[in-house]
Chains A and B, each alone.
Chain A
Amino acid sequence: MANPKPKKLTKGTLPIYVVLTIASLLSLFPFYWMFVMATRPSAAYNSIPPTLLPGTQLVENFQKVLDTIPFFQAMWNTIILCSAVTIGVLLISSLAGFAFAKFQFPGKNFLFILILLTMVIPPQLGLIPQFYLISQLGWLDTLLGAGVIFLLNPLGIFLMRQYVSQSVPDELMEAAKLDGCSNFRIYWSIVLPIIKPAFATLGIIVFTLVWGEFLWQFTVLRDPSSYTLQVALASLNNAFRVDFGMLLSGVFWATVPLIIIFLMFNKLFISSITEGSIK
């Protein structure tokens, strides 16, 4: 953005910079500290004053993580789970959002209000029957069982309906119909390309949601080979004597990929928050 007036550091703005800098440092410190601890032997933790500079044990600590939990397996499981759920939610939501935005059918408003109501039900209400259902289906300790409940994403339908009705012109649909396009063809060849930006927004919301969710994954995934990152990391803390260096090494390596993705797409992440919550 072109700025006509150059912004100068004046006396009046100094306190504001101080506040913002402190807020930034406090936001970043745990990340830095996690890195420091991941490079230090556990004993460093007991030193006074506390160590605040990185050490040399980065590899050793991570080796201990690998010996304790199936880290790469868990990373892989998490990526598969998040990707599959994200693709599923995008397809389900865009189909339904398209229908709610562009078609007339009896009961449409009722169904839409029903979707909005489902947003209010806390996920814990159904936890026990869901667990029972998944165990009856034999899906405990599987990514299918861990992922299926996340396909239920009312926010996605809400966002997609909004986006389709704003950005897909009725005339375009009429024209396509005159050319003999079926409704599904219109969805696939016209609507999907137009709503790509909404896919990016919703995709980030769903991916980070599933990546970080704990309660359900913790309930369904009991076997270490089926662990996702969150469950695996949490299990590191269950030992009687926890090796802090190893613990934070696990957290560090599990967080690094997300930080890299975030720094690359930070604008998209931040706009997904406002779009996902304000519409």
Chain B
Amino acid sequence: MESVHKRKQVAAKAQKRKLSEKKKDMISGYLYVAPFFIIFGIIGLYPAIFSIVLAFQKWNGLGDMQFVGMQNFVIVLQDPLFWKSLYNTIIMGLMGTAPQLIVGIILAYFLNMAVIRFTNFFRVTIFMPYITSMVAVALVFGVFFSSNETALANYVLGLLGFDPVSWKTSEWGAKIAISLMVFWRWVGYNTIIYLAGLQSIPKDLYEAATIDGANKVQQFLHITVPLLKPFIILTVFMSTVGALQLFAEPTVFLGSSAFNRDEAMTVVMYLYRDAFNLGSFGTASAAAVLLLIIIIGAAALNTWLTSGAGRKKRGV
């Protein structure tokens, strides 16, 4: 009798210890995620909400706020410069990122071929542009694409029989120069991601396909591309979101005239100019909210397109 009682007591004690252990773990859990969430609350969530509130106020950052309803949105949406900057952002985004992804896949495919030597050398050099900062890239390309007739870019154009371009002040010159610097800096980054994707594809798939008589192009289209799809989706998503946030390259490339000209003004530059050059925090916040909606819309469109295309393919 006594021993049973004792055993029960020990069991209860162990139970209790386990419970307090559980409680301790719970407290530790909360405690350890707390630093992130405290910082998130102050620096992330509060400003995000504040921004949305500000979008409905008139405010210059100093005096009292004044509720103006949708007026800020109306002002921004009726401003031709906003639409111009959105247009610029999309055009430069397409020109800078689409070729980047295609060239990235091709380079990764070559680097992954078993017969190629010096792959590490090629990989390192092709990746190197990514480590330079956006400002450095914009300044180097700014000299390369300077509006001088003797600019290196114009010299090369001359060799090819074209007239010199005024890169910083013409509609397409500025866009092409900026797209090229984005392309140059990011192509290696995407190559590395695709290379990792290619290396995750089992080699015996290709061997089996070769035995079945599929040629290299068929293998590329029916094995490589479908299995690479998650990586393609990832890079398309990241490039889209990144392209919509373009700021440093055009701002630094154009230097002192960045906010006075509209050839390469992006949405982020537009909202920056509203806030910090014109002191109109309300309309700037409205533009920021619009940018958020555009980014979410583009991300959703991306997901929809890629998953829709995938379903079609599986259906066939």
Contact = CB atoms under 8 A, between A and B. Distances in A.
A and B found bound together: yes
B28 A183 contact: yes
Contacts of A103: 25-26, 28-29, 32
Contacts of A109: none
Interface stretch (A54-62, A65-73, A149-157, A193-201): A149-157
15 contacts: A7-B116, A24-B122, A30-B140, A105-B29, A121-B292, A123-B245, A133-B42, A187-B32, A214-B248, A214-B252, A215-B268, A234-B139, A236-B139, A238-B255, A244-B143
A238 B123 CA distance: 35
Contacts of A120: 295-296, 299
A270 B36 contact: no
B288 A127 contact: yes
A108 B29 contact: yes
Query: Which of under 10, 10 to 19, 20 to 34, or 35 or more describes the interface residues of B?
Result: 35 or more
Nearest to A238: B256
A20 B111 contact: yes
B259 to A, nearest CB: 12
B288 A277 contact: no
Interface in B111-130: 111, 113-117, 121-130
Given A33-B144, A103-B25, A254-B136, 7 more contacts: A20-B107, A30-B137, A125-B51, A157-B36, A215-B248, A230-B135, A237-B252
A215 B247 contact: yes
Nearest to A49: B155
A152 B116 contact: no
Interface in A79-107: 91-93, 95-96, 98-100, 103-106
Interface in A116-140: 118, 120-133
Interface of A: 7, 9-10, 12-13, 16-17, 19-20, 23-24, 26-28, 30-31, 33-34, 37, 45-50, 91-93, 95-96, 98-100, 103-106, 108, 111, 115, 118, 120-133, 148-149, 151-152, 157, 177, 183-184, 187, 208, 211-212, 214-215, 218-219, 229-230, 233-234, 236-240, 242, 244, 247-248, 250-251, 254-255, 258-259, 262-263, 266, 269-270, 273-274, 277-278
Given A111-B37, A125-B51, A233 B22 contact: no
At the interface, is chain B mostly helix, strand, loop or mixed? helix
B134 interface: yes
Interface stretch (B189-197, B221-229, B307-315): B189-197
A248 B137 CA distance: 10
B33 A96 contact: yes
A182 to B, nearest CB: 8
B314 to A, nearest CB: 23
Contact of B44 (A121, A212, A273): A121
B51 A129 contact: yes
Given A28-B125, A151-B43, A122 B241 contact: yes
Contacts of A229: 133
B22 A104 contact: yes
B206 interface: no
Nearest to B109: A16
Given A50-B152, A234-B252, A128 B285 contact: yes
A17 B124 CA distance: 15
A126 B48 contact: yes
B39 interface: yes
B231 interface: yes
